[in-house]
Chains A and B, each alone.
Chain A
Amino acid sequence: MATLSLALMGTRAGSAQSLPSGPLELANGQVTVAADIAATIGARDDAAPPECPRRCGAFFNYTDYEHNALRMFRVSFSGAWRPSRRLAFLTEIRSEDRERFRPYALYVRVRPWTTHAFDVQAGRIPPVFGAYSRHVYGPDNWLIGQPLAYQYLTSLRPSAIPASADDLLVMRGRGWLARYPVGSPASGPGVPIISAYQWDVGIEASVATKHIDAAAAVTSGTLSNPRVDDDNDGRQISARVGWKPVVGLVIGGSYAHGEWLNGALRDSLSSVIHSGQRYPQEAFGLDAEYSRDYWLVRGEFIRSRWRLPALSSPFIHGPLDATAAFVESRYRFTPRLFAAARLDGLRFSRISGEKVFSGVPTTWDAPVGRVEAGGGVYIQRNLTVRAVVQRNWRDGGFIHKRTFVSGQIAFWF
Chain B
Amino acid sequence: MKLMHALTILTCAALLLGSAQREQRSRTVTGTIRGRIDVRTSGTTELRPDVAALGMHAAHDRPDRRRSVVYLETAPRGAFDPSEEPRASMDQLNENFVPHVLPIIAGTTVDFPNDDATYHSVFSLSKAKPFNLGRYAAGRSKSVRFDQPGIVRVFCDIHSHMNAFILVFAHRYFTVTDDDGRYRLPNVPAGSYTLTVWNETVRGDAPRRAIAIAAEGADVDADFTIR
Contacts and interface: CB of A to CB of B under 8 A. Distances in A.
B207 interface: no
B45 A29 contact: yes
Interface in B179-227: 189-191, 196, 198, 200, 202-204, 206
B134 interface: yes
A79 B117 CA distance: 29
A4 B74 contact: yes
Interface stretch (A288-296, A320-328, A349-357): A288-296
A90 B49 contact: yes
Contacts of B49: 23, 32-34, 78-80, 90, 92
Contacts of A105: 51-52
Nearest to A2: B77
A276 interface: no
Contact of A111 (B51, B55, B118, B200): B55
B135 interface: yes
A204 interface: yes
A4 B80 contact: yes
Interface in A128-166: 128, 134-137, 139
Contact of B77 (A4, A23, A215): A4
A53 interface: no
B33 interface: no
Contact of A7 (B44, B73, B118): B73
A135 B50 CA distance: 11
A121 interface: yes
B190 to A, nearest CB: 7
A7 B75 contact: yes
B134 A332 contact: yes
B132 A332 contact: yes
Contacts of B160: 139
Contacts of B118: 247
Given A4-B171, A8-B149, A334-B132, A134 B52 contact: yes
B72 interface: yes
A15 B150 CA distance: 10
A117 B153 CA distance: 32
B150 A11 contact: yes
Contact of B54 (A21, A210, A215, A248): A215
Contact of B75 (A5, A23, A206): A5
B54 A378 contact: no
Nearest to B138: A247
A16 B167 contact: no
A11 B56 contact: no
Contact of B73 (A6, A29, A78, A117): A6
Contacts of B155: 381
A247 B51 contact: no
A126 interface: yes
Contact of B56 (A2, A117, A135, A139): A117
Nearest to A28: B42
Nearest to A104: B51
B61 interface: no
Contacts of A5: 74-75, 80, 149, 170-171
Given A208-B55, A294-B132, A380 B77 contact: no
Interface in A276-294: 291-294
Contacts of A128: 54
B130 A334 contact: yes
A28 to B, nearest CB: 9
A91 interface: yes
Given A7-B149, A332-B132, A16 B119 contact: no
Interface in B138-173: 138, 148-153, 155, 157, 160, 163, 165, 167-171, 173
B151 A13 contact: yes
B16 interface: no
Q: Decide if the interface of chain B is mainly helix, strand, loop or mixed.
A: loop
Residue among B51, B72, B137, B170 facing the most chain A CB atoms (10 A cut-off): B51
B77 A22 contact: no
Interface string B39-72: 0001011111111111110100000000000011
Contacts of A294: 132, 134-135
B123 A335 contact: yes
A122 B66 CA distance: 37
A402 interface: no
B92 interface: no
A4 B73 CA distance: 10
A294 B133 CA distance: 8
Interface in B79-138: 79-80, 117-119, 123-128, 130-132, 134-138
A119 interface: yes
Contacts of A97: none
Given A8-B149, A13-B165, A381-B125, A292 B135 contact: yes
A335 B75 contact: no
A17 interface: yes
Contact of A17 (B72, B77, B153, B204): B153
Interface string A325-366: 000000010111000000000000000000000000000000
B76 interface: yes
A22 B174 CA distance: 28
A371 interface: no
A4 B75 contact: yes
A293 B134 contact: yes
Interface in A26-48: 29, 32-34
Q: Which 4 A-B pairs have the closest CB atoms?
A: A119-B55, A80-B49, A293-B134, A16-B153
26 contacts: A1-B190, A3-B74, A5-B80, A5-B149, A7-B169, A8-B170, A13-B151, A13-B165, A14-B203, A23-B44, A23-B46, A23-B47, A23-B49, A32-B47, A33-B49, A92-B51, A117-B55, A121-B55, A208-B58, A213-B54, A247-B119, A247-B138, A293-B134, A293-B135, A334-B132, A381-B155
